[in-house]
Amino acid sequence: MPEENEDGSEDLETPPAFFPYGDETADRPPGDYGSLVQVMVEGVFAAENNGQISRFVLLTDGERRLPISIGPFEAQAIQLMLEGERLDRPLTHDLMRNIMDRVDTRLTKVTIDDYWNAVYYAKLTIKRKTEEYDVDARPSDAIALAMRFEASIFVADALLDGNDF
């Protein structure tokens, strides 16, 4: 639970867990950003600002675009998949794919459906036999995994509308 300030308001500096586990209840309801729209990865881009390099992945539904800030390792993992390259040794996302294959688990889809405190939230939907599970993930990791599983990526409609890119 977020801590309460003296005035009774919640401290929003540290986000609560996005997905509760077991019988716990969520500390905050996810935002309602409308229906889901399937998107594809348009590319990975970098921009320099005051000597700092920022990287982002650009998702598109064909008309609208959503840029999401990512780290250098995730940028490399996504870019390699876009270029169809494979390294001699597995990267972290390749390792996850290998582990999931070994335990007969598939990534069926990725959903980016929440935005809170300047952070996008994603979930992996994984399937093992007849059971499906949603797992909290950073969008960058979720996208890199989706590309390795050829899984669909969905974004809440309002998140695509909520930027001027």
pLDDT digits (tens, 9 = 90+) for 65-94: 999 999 999 999 999 999 999 899 999 999
pLDDT reading at 20 higher than 50: no
pLDDT reading at 25 higher than 50: no
Centre a 10 Å sphere on the Cβ of residue 77 and count the other Cβ atoms it contains: 24
Give residue 55's Cα distance to chain centre. Answer: 15
As to burial, measured by CB atoms within 10 angstroms (0-12 exposed, 13-18 middle, 19+ buried), residue 158 is middle
pLDDT reading at 14 higher than 60: no
* Residue 76 near residue 86 (C-beta atoms within 8 A): no
Q: How confident is the model at residue 28 (pLDDT cuts 50, 70, 90)?
A: very low
Q: How confident is the model at residue 165 (pLDDT cuts 50, 70, 90)?
A: very low
For residue 121, the one-letter residue type is Y
Give residue 134's Cα distance to chain centre. Answer: 12
Cα distance between residue 86 and residue 164, in whole Å: 34
Mean pLDDT of 8-25: 50
Q: How confident is the model at residue 1 (pLDDT cuts 50, 70, 90)?
A: very low
Domains of the chain and CATH, by start: 40-161 (3.10.690.10)
3-state secondary structure of 54: strand
pLDDT at 161: 80
Mean pLDDT of 55-71: 95
| Percentage of the chain modeled with pLDDT above 90 | 69
User: Which residue's structure tokens are 């390259």?
Assistant: 85
DSSP 84: T
Cα distance between residue 41 and residue 31, in whole Å: 23
pLDDT digits (tens, 9 = 90+) for 110-148: 999 999 888 999 999 999 999 999 999 999 999 999 999
Indicate if the alpha-carbon torsion angle 57, 42, 116, 134 is positive or negative: negative
User: Six-digit token pair at 86?
Assistant: 């494979």
